[in-house]
Amino acid sequence: MAHFDDVKGFAFDLDGVLADTAKFHSQAWRQIAEELNITWTPELESGIKGIDRMSSLMLILNSADVAGNYTEEQKEALATRKNDHYKELIGTLTPDDVLPGMHKFLDELKANNLKMSIASASKNAPFILDKLQISDYFVGVVDPSKVKEGKPAPDIFAEAAKILDLDPATVVGLEDSAAGITSINAAGEISVGIGDKALLHEAKINFPSTADVTLAKIRAHLNW
């Protein structure tokens, strides 16, 4: 079992961990769904978390069994239109949108010389970090277009450990999605789930919200 003294770095998911961009993803996808006469459901709302843009579109189209009605070109156009709308929405982000407790937690990690990287499925991650004015905390950001498979595959979190130049077993991954927790575990890292414990039951450590996450609590869990 991992011991806290072995921990050397942290890999952060972005949407749902550092900022609540999920509401903007939902808003932008919901508009597309409604244009296509597809009912927006809570299942779609949570299902799109953590998975990449095209997989999100496929989930929405498959929920109404209409994926076969669209050509690749049309699907690309829908995904681009969603992203244009999403970019307008995230353009309004400010440092105040960093989720509760996370500024303090980032400072705590920095003060303890723990290295940090971003393990997001989002191609918009650098833009979002810039808007939140927290880019400087991170050694690097995984480029999801350069990894073979998105979450739940291990690739994104494995790459986040590589960026930190650390053995995955010494890296703690933080996630709000079930697909993300699966990715962290598959990469051989220590998983921290933030949010609904029933949904994130595969995580090694669970916190109800970002406001509850502290280094001391992670340390206490790992030294148990």
Is the Cβ of residue 14 or residue 178 nearer to ligand B16 in the bound state? Answer: 14
Query: What single-letter amino acid sits at 23?
Result: K
Give the H/E segment covering residue 140.
strand 140-141
What is the phi/psi pair of residue 126, to 5°? -60, -40
d(Cα 215, Cα 220) in Å, to the nearest integer?
Answer: 9
Is the Cβ of residue 170 or residue 183 nearer to Mg ion in the bound state? Answer: 183
Query: Is residue 52 involved in binding ligand B16 (CB under 6 A)?
Result: yes
Nearest to 202 by CA among 217, 218, 190: 190
Query: Is residue 47 involved in binding ligand B16 (CB under 6 A)?
Result: no
Active site includes 136? no
Partner touching 142 among ligand B16, Mg ion, none, CB below 5 to 8 Å by kind: none
Residue found by looking up tokens 């502290």 in the block: 214
Give the x-and-dash track for 123-142 against ligand B16 (CB under 6 A): xx------------------
Is the Cβ of residue 200 or residue 215 nearer to Mg ion in the bound state? Answer: 200
Q: How far is CA 181 from CA 30, 82, 115, 163, 185, in A?
A: 25, 26, 20, 19, 6
| Residue of 32, 33, 121, 187 that binds ligand B16 (CB under 6 A) | 121
Query: Is residue 53 involved in binding ligand B16 (CB under 6 A)?
Result: yes
With CB atoms as reference, the residue minimizing the distance to Mg ion is 16
Rg (CA), the chain: 17
Which 59-88 positions form the footprint of ligand B16 (CB under 6 A)? 83
Helix then strand count (H, E) for the chain reads 9, 6
Binding segment (CB under 6 A) for ligand B16, from list 44-52, 57-65, 185-193, 216-224: 44-52
Instruction: Specify the length of the chain in residues.
Output: 224
d(Cα 122, Cα 128) in Å, to the nearest integer?
Answer: 10
- Count interface residues toward ligand B16 (CB under 6 A): 19
- Minimum CB separation from ligand B16 for residue 216, in Å? 25
- The three-state secondary structure class of 19 is strand
- Which position among 5, 15, 107, 130 bears the catalytic label? 15
Residues with catalytic roles: 13, 15
Binding interface with ligand B16 (CB under 6 A): 13-16, 25, 48-53, 56, 83, 120-124, 177
